[in-house]
Amino acid sequence: MLIAAAVAAAVPATALAWGSCSVNLGQGWPPAVGNYGGAVEKLFDGATTPALSLVTLPARGQESGLALLPGKGGDWTLRYSRAEERVYQWVDGGARGGVQLRTEQTPETFEVPIPAALAQRLVKDWSQALGRIAPQGANAPVIDGEVLSFVVGGVRYSGARPSCGAGELLMQQAALLIEASEGKEKKREKRWNELESSLDELQQTLAGTAG
């Protein structure tokens, strides 16, 4: 599952502090991650460009991704993808050893419709939250372990999994999106309502009024 125990990592001095909440996210890809992350995104999204995406590159195990795809006058599409086998593989060949990106595979994919108004709100609110967490000029940090990479509004934000404040709410919302994509149709309306409530809380947090 996307929501899992965060890989323990020291937060560098360059990490942004928002109140008492320290985050380790910045814009762009972390150093030495772009080729790997781009290969995973291409595996999941092909030639399409989601309005919002979140890719998880774990320290071990399969990569996964969420995407929101605009509809044509109706519902949008929510897609959750998971690699069949780990894309990033170290091939031990002595002096010739190196990284192999296993993109010749078909990922497991779940696609469901999501109300357009809710999808558009997710794009707007995530863009606002991530822009506050990792403003322009804050570059993605070096990460040893799991890397998360969001793309929303054409801007990429990458780094460690947030565990407090607005970032933690984004993770809760991502978990609800995964549950909606994998779960039964009759439970989706409940997930949409839970997302709306969580987005309300996110707005309160951004405004500094959350209890």
Phi and psi at residue 210, in whole multiples of 5°? -65, 140
Banded model confidence at residue 91, pLDDT cuts 50, 70, 90: confident
SS (H, E, C) the chain: CCCCCCCCCCCCCCCEEECCEEECEEECCCCCCHHHHHHHHHHHHCCCCCCEEEEEECCCCCCEEEEEECCCCCCEEEEEEECCCCCEEEECCHHHCEEEECCCCCCEEEEEEECHHHHHHHHHHHHHHHHHHCCCCCECCCCCCCEEEEEECCEEEEECCCCCHHHHHHHHHHHHHHHHHHCCHHHHHHHHHHHHHHHHHHHHHHCCCCC
| Averaged pLDDT, 58-86 | 95
Q: Is the pLDDT of residue 14 over 70?
A: no
Cβ 205 vs Cβ 165: under 8 Å: yes
How confident is the model over 97-149, as pLDDT tens digits? 688 999 999 999 999 999 999 999 999 999 999 999 999 999 999 999 999 99
Residue ranges covered by each domain of the chain: 24-206
Q: Is the pLDDT of residue 15 over 70?
A: no
pTM over 0.85: yes
The reported pLDDT for the residue numbered 183 is 94
The reported pLDDT for the residue numbered 99 is 87
Query: What is the chain's alpha carbon radius of gyration, rounded to the nearest angstrom?
Result: 17
Q: Is the pLDDT of residue 85 over 90?
A: yes
Q: Is the pLDDT of residue 79 over 80?
A: yes
